[in-house]
């Protein structure tokens, strides 16, 4: 379970998250949407400590993740993250990208880590590419490797920050399909996305942010058909 209490974040004088409180249950799939610059990425990045709060708390399963470096380190190995620009390790092949952290962080044996990595690589449909370097893959393939890399740590939470925004249109579906296949398998998912149809289809909850304020938190049907705030109405009018 993720519990965010009165979270605020400022960069210098720029307050980008304002007093956000939020509770997400284990296994829930939550889509974070909102205009550019509204603080979606910043909020997401607090859940694995890539950002540090200016105020407030983030708890994962009751543990305050910013209380100590040890908490932070523990949390990070159980929270997976998928980035807009993949951020694969360019000097490692697909298999090495996926097995690196299990070997070095979770201290699995190389054999076991690679066996698990191969299963995950198969799951994302890239078994024919295990020896390739990221530079030899398409964007969609890179992102699927990045998903496998995050899953290799057996996370209980997965964070996705616009996982398809950097992709050519014809590759969006293959990545969204992989993400969909993970939904409702027990792992908690937080997805920042501009793909409204995808959000509608896969999310249990929609969270709408604007200018760092959490404006709406409701189920997709309600949000898309009957948004409570004018801001959300305007946003949807523009984007749909």
Partner 1 sequence: MNLDFSGVIPSIPFILEGIKVTLAIVSMSILLGFVLGSILAVFKISDIKVLTFFASAYTSIFRGTPLILQLMIIYYGLPQTFGIDISEFPAAILALGLNSAAYVSEIIRAGIQAVDKGQSEAAIALGVPKRLMLLDIIFPQAIRNILPALINEFTSLTKESAIVTVIGASDVMRRAYMVGSDTYLYMESLMIAGVFYYVLVSLLSFAGKKLEVKLQG
Ligand X SMILES: Nc1ncnc2c1ncn2[C@@H]1O[C@H](COP(=O)(O)OP(=O)(O)OP(=O)(O)O)[C@@H](O)[C@H]1O
CB neighbours of residue 14 within 10 Å: 8
- Shortest distance in whole angstroms from residue 77 CB to ligand X: 23
Among Mg ion, ligand X, partner 1, none, residue 83 binds (CB under 5-8 Å by kind): partner 1
Among Mg ion, ligand X, partner 1, none, residue 38 binds (CB under 5-8 Å by kind): ligand X
Contact between 124 and 93 (Cβ < 8 Å): no
Among 87, 197, 219, 226, binds partner 1 (CB under 8 A): 87
Instruction: Assess 68 for contact with partner 1 (CB under 8 A).
Output: no
- Identify the DSSP state of 105: T
Instruction: Assess 50 for contact with partner 1 (CB under 8 A).
Output: yes
Which tokens go with 69? 């470096």
Instruction: Assess 40 for contact with ligand X (CB under 6 A).
Output: yes
Q: DSSP characters for 11-26?
A: ETTEEEEEEEEEEE-T
Nearest of 32, 40, 28, 30 to residue 1 by alpha carbon: 28
Instruction: Assess 236 for contact with partner 1 (CB under 8 A).
Output: no
CA dihedral 43, 72, 10, 159 (to 10 degrees): -20
Among Mg ion, ligand X, partner 1, none, residue 81 binds (CB under 5-8 Å by kind): partner 1
Position of tokens 């295990």? 130
For 240, how many CA atoms within 13 A lie in the half-sphere containing its CB?
15
Instruction: Assess 48 for contact with Mg ion (CB under 5 A).
Output: no
Q: Which residues pair with 30 in a beta bridge?
A: 190, 205
Among ligand X, Mg ion, partner 1, none, residue 227 binds (CB under 5-8 Å by kind): none
Instruction: Assess 41 for contact with Mg ion (CB under 5 A).
Output: yes
Nearer Cβ to ligand X, position 45 or 123?
45
Q: DSSP characters for 32-67?
A: EE-STTSSHHHHHHHTTTSS--SEEEEEETTEETTS
Residues that bind ligand X (CB under 6 A): 11, 14, 16, 34, 36-42
Residues that bind partner 1 (CB under 8 A): 48-50, 73-74, 76-77, 79-81, 83, 85-91, 100-101, 104-105, 146, 149-150, 153
């Amino acid at each position: 379970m993720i519990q965010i209490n009165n979270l605020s974040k400022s960069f210098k004088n720029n307050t980008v998250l304002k007093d956000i409180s939020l509770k997400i249950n284990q296994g829930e799939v939550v889509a974070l949407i909102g205009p550019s610059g509204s603080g979606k990425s910043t909020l997401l990045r607090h859940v694995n400590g890539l950002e540090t709060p200016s105020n407030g708390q983030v708890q994962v399963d009751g543990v305050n993740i910013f209380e100590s470096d040890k908490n932070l380190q523990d949390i990070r190995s159980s929270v997976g993250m998928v980035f807009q620009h993949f951020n694969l390790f360019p000097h490692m092949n697909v298999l090495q990208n996926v097995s690196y952290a299990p070997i070095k962080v979770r201290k699995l044996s190389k054999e076991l880590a690679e066996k698990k990595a191969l299963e995950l690589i198969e799951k994302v449909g890239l078994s024919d590419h295990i020896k390739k370097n990221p530079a030899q893959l398409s964007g969609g393939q890179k992102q699927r490797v990045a998903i496998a890399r995050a899953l290799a740590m057996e996370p209980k939470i997965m964070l996705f920050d616009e996982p398809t925004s950097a992709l050519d249109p014809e590759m969006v579906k293959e990545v969204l399909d992989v993400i969909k296949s993970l939904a409702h398998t027990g792992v908690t998912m937080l997805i920042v996305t501009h793909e409204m149809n995808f959000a509608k289809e896969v999310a249990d909850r929609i969270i709408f942010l604007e200018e760092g304020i959490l404006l709406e938190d409701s189920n997709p049907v309600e949000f898309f058909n009957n948004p409570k705030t004018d801001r959300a109405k305007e946003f949807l009018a523009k984007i749909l």
